[in-house]
A and B are shown apart, each in its own frame.
Chain A
Amino acid sequence: MSLRVRDWRDAMLQTVPVMFGYLPLGAAFGILFMQLGHPWWGALLMSLFIYAGAGQFLAVTLLANHAGLLEVAVATFMLNSRHLFYGLSLIKRFQGAGWRKPYLIFALTDETYSLLTSQQQTDPSHHDHATAWRISALNQLWWVLGTIAGALAGATLEFDSRGIEFALTALFIVLTLEQARRLRRALPFLIALVVGLAAIVLLPDRHLLLGAIGATSLILLAHYYGLVRGGRV
């Protein structure tokens, strides 16, 4: 087997959990999109060029409510603003990615971010941009295929897939355990636990992720300056 085929196969194995999540979620989006009476190519364009799960569901809702374009822009930016913090932690990782870099940045969903930050680094000085690119592209392929299946086949799917979206939750649990094994530091997990639970209790659903991730970033920032002041950095 050629090296390239093996590379793609390895990347595909890593994205299987995302596939289990993205195919049904993408299909759900496609079905919803068609039920609102839009042309099928609109769903395809959204999954190709927006490529954000919650963002696309929001776009459909805004369309149904005849929202203005400024409102669409502001609401989408706010909903996806947690991505700002993902980029912060990947600036070094994506350095030197060349022609792949714009796509790596464009395709930075929750799930792709999770996979890319959990990759084993064989050589920490050399980041494997080709593998990152394959993982990103395959994840979007699952999302687009799911969307097309949902838009075209609609509700005629025979397979009872209720509950399959749990694959994404399972993926996050596995990746959390792997991060803990690698890092061997309780600090980020303690912060996330306290902030996450507080956010669930205090914040409305639509601000939950942004609030929790933003607060965690601020605490890590304060922690960094605490270390600097203590002369430990």
Chain B
Amino acid sequence: MSETMLLLTIVVCALATFATRVLPFVALSRHAEHPLILHLGRYLPPAVMLILVLYALRDFRPLADGSLNGGENGFPLVVASITVAVLHLWRRNALLSIIGGTGLYMAMIQLGWLVPS
């Protein structure tokens, strides 16, 4: 592969990615005070956040293939996620919740707990 092709690909990817980020600002900058934009600004972020959680947990499909099946790393994902939520509702310390849940998840993955063999 030529280095020119690599560079061209990088330039095209960079422009295409930036386009997705900048388009709303260019197209709608004059309408920042419009009630519809304010409505989306208020309700879209929490909805996106929950969708990102569901997306991250999509490996857990308890009823896939018609049997109780955690999928790859499905059970550790769910156990660690519940741990994060409980820790956060209890102490409301973001770092504690994240480090606690991640530590537990790493232990489960590396030691093979709840991971289908």
Contact = CB atoms under 8 A, between A and B. Distances in A.
Interface of A: 13, 16-17, 20, 37-39, 42, 45-46, 49-52, 55-56, 59, 62-63, 66, 69, 72-74, 76-77, 80-95, 101, 105-106, 108, 110, 113-114, 117-118, 160-164, 166-180, 183, 185, 187-189, 191-193, 195-197, 199-200, 205, 208-209, 212-213, 216-217, 220-221, 223-224, 227, 233
A172 B56 contact: yes
B10 A177 contact: no
Place the interface of chain B in its size category.
35 or more
Contact of A166 (B49, B80, B94): B80
Contact of A197 (B1, B48, B54, B85): B54
14 contacts: A85-B24, A89-B41, A106-B22, A160-B110, A162-B110, A163-B110, A164-B102, A166-B106, A170-B105, A173-B53, A189-B50, A213-B48, A216-B44, A217-B40
Contacts of A178: 94
Given A92-B41, A106-B18, A170 B84 contact: yes
A212 B17 contact: no
A74 to B, nearest CB: 8
A180 B89 CA distance: 11
Interface in B23-50: 23-25, 28-29, 31-33, 35-50
A170 B43 contact: no
Interface of A, secondary structure class, is helix
Contact of A176 (B10, B17, B49): B49
Central interface residue in B5, B23, B24, B52, by most chain A CB within 10 Å: B52
A120 to B, nearest CB: 12
A177 B57 contact: no
Contacts of A13: 95
A216 B21 contact: no
A79 to B, nearest CB: 9
B10 A172 contact: no
A188 B52 contact: no
Given A50-B10, A169-B53, A196-B54, A84 B101 contact: no
Given A88-B44, A197-B54, A208-B55, A170 B14 contact: no
